[in-house]
């Protein structure tokens, strides 16, 4: 991996990226309120399950398909995949989170100097660009290899989950780092196989069936006391 591509991947994957990720728990806060997640072991199980059934099952293949569409200059296909992705969000809050962060990342990319004008025009034309759609456009423009893109995207999501847990439950920094250490190994293990699956079949043949996440995320919409928007 070239050093400049690595630097761009680190920038995209950083929690300092100003897209509002810190304000979303992606359903985790509701799981904590319900007692499903109560310590580092249950947190690891929750993140691993969502990673397996949602990220690996659909979101990452969709991300890779979007990146391939951008790389080939097929903005129409990228827009189609974006609509498909938003249609699979399990609740109104999860859909809103994907759109809000996608909109914020698009606004950020618009003020950066090195993305192709054609790509930016295509992104501007989208009414509701999702986070993976805009993220994949940037990763494609910055020549980030698909496997590395998967690792960066999944790591950013997993790290945000751990940070959200540290705000919403008694979880120390050392415990959080132990969870991340285990998650890093799992993410590295899934990156290659997911990339291979995405190359072999389109996202339309993948699925992200996770009824537990859907129910808890829907319950979060009326949760009385909460820190996060989703």
- The three-state secondary structure class of 69 is helix
Q: What span, in angstroms and rounded, lies between the C-alpha atoms of 146 and 65? A: 10
What's residue 197's pLDDT? 58
3-state helix, strand and coil shares in percent for the chain, rounded to the nearest 5: 75, 0, 25
What tokens does 117 get? 């004008």
Residue spans of the domains in the chain: they are 28-220
Q: Quick check: 209 pLDDT over 90?
A: no
**Cβ neighbours around 149 below 10 Å, total:** 26
Instruction: Give percent of the chain above pLDDT 90.
Output: 74
Query: Residue 110 burial by CB count (10 A; 0-12/13-18/19+): exposed, middle or buried?
Result: exposed
pLDDT of residue 82: 96
Q: At 191, is the pLDDT very low, low, confident or very high (cuts 50, 70, 90)?
A: confident
pLDDT beyond 80 at 194:
no
For residue 131, what pLDDT is reported?
97
pTM, whole model, 2 decimals?
Answer: 0.93
Statement: residue 129 has pLDDT above 70: yes
Superfamily of structural domain 28-220? Urease accessory protein UreF (1.10.4190.10)
The crossing angle, in degrees rounded to 10, of helices 146-168 and 173-200 is 150
d(CA 196, CA 185): 18
Averaged pLDDT for residues 172-200: 82
For position 45, what pLDDT does the model report? 97
């Amino acid at each position: 991996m070239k050093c400049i591509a690595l630097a761009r991947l680190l920038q995209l994957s950083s929690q300092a990226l100003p897209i509002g990720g810190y304000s979303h728990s992606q359903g985790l806060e509701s799981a904590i309120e319900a007692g499903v997640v109560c310590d580092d072991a249950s947190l690891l199980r929750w993140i691993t399950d969502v990673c397996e059934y949602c990220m690996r099952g659909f979101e990452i293949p969709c991300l890779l398909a979007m990146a391939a569409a951008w790389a080939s200059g097929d903005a129409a296909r990228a827009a189609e995949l974006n609509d498909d992705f938003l249609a699979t969000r399990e609740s109104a809050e999860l859909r809103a989170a994907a759109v809000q962060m996608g909109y914020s990342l698009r606004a950020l990319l618009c003020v950066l100097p090195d993305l192709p004008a054609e790509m930016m025009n295509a992104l501007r034309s989208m009414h509701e660009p999702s986070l993976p759609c805009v993220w994949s456009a940037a990763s494609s423009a910055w020549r980030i290899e698909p496997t590395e893109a998967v690792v960066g995207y999944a790591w950013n999501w997993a790290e945000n989950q751990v940070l959200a847990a540290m705000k919403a439950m008694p979880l120390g920094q050392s415990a959080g780092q132990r969870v991340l250490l285990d998650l890093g190994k799992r993410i590295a293990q899934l990156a290659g196989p997911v990339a291979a699956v995405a190359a072999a079949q389109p996202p339309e043949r993948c699925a992200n069936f996770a009824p537990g996440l859907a129910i808890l995320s829907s319950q979060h919409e009326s949760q009385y006391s909460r820190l996060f928007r989703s």
